[in-house]
Amino acid sequence: MPVGAPPQPLTTRLAGRALGGLARVAPDSAARAGFELWRRPLRRGPVRQHEQVVHRAARVSSLPWRGRRVALYEWGDGARPVLLVHGWRSRASRFASIIDRLVAHGFSAVSYDALGHGATRGGAGTILDHEAIIRAVVDRSEPFEGVVAHSLGAPIAFHALRHGLAARRVVAINGVGDFGYLVDAFCAALGLGAEVNVRLRRTIEQRLFDGAPDIWDRFSVGDGPADELLVVQDRLDDVVHPSQADLIVAAHGARSQRLDTIGLGHSALLSDPHVLDAVVDFLAAGARP
């Protein structure tokens, strides 16, 4: 599978060299060390300058989750809510431009900072933690008009749609369709070979999912859980390869629409006016009267 791994910063290249050397003599140890790097965001994304106004306008509360507090944000009057699910090393404020546009068109917006991200402290959680958190969000809200998910948020949203989340329309922006891609892209970026890839997958199964070998299918797009789907993909995205959008579209067939951009990269789509128009128009077309 092509992964389109981007040029890596010095710290990542050094980690790749170290793990590559370890893999040659002790592949199991390399897989364990790789797992510790794979599962940690390493840095918290700050609220960026252009996000400040929208971020400060949110009604902020928290959800209890296993002794921690998950930061929850709401905008608008609560009617016609849209759930926003961010990706890895991200936070709810990254959706500022989309939130602004949604509220201006009579929607409300709901989002949260994932475990270990943004204002939610502690270590990162798994897709199962996201499922439980989203279920708690659902219990507090009116039925969702739609879901907008970015990057790793896409498989999180698809899994939640199979387990209690109901929404009329779903938007996946530069989304991941194959859960195993997260390992493939990680290994490619660090120059790790097939043997470490296999061992890392087994370590993830054992350490995070009670040894379940079916997670790579169970957490992928699968049979396409969205009733109506808009897939937005930049053809030059250097974080999530466009082949992932192909998988998502294929899984949903005639229930999907697609918008391709060129040159916006992985995150600029979230504030591009053309993309914002397409997202709001798509959600409005399926909105309740």
What are the DSSP E strand ranges found in the chain?
A: 59-65, 68-75, 81-85, 108-112, 144-150, 167-173, 229-234, 256-261
Say which residues have a Cβ less than 8 Å from residue 73's Cβ, sequence separation at least 6.
55, 58, 59, 60, 92, 109, 110, 111, 112, 113
Residue 64 phi/psi, 5-degree rounding, is -75, 135
Which pLDDT does position 1 carry in this prediction? 31
CATH code, residues 47-178+220-284: 3.40.50.1820
Mean pLDDT, all residues of the chain:
89
Interaxial angle between packed helices 10-25 and 27-38, expressed in degrees from 0 to 180 and rounded to the nearest 10: 150
Which ranges in the chain are annotated with CATH 3.40.50.1820? 47-178+220-284
The residue ranges of the chain whose pLDDT is under 50 are 1-11, 13-14
Which pLDDT does position 26 carry in this prediction? 61
Which pLDDT does position 190 carry in this prediction? 80
Q: Which residue has the tokens 């971020």?
A: 55
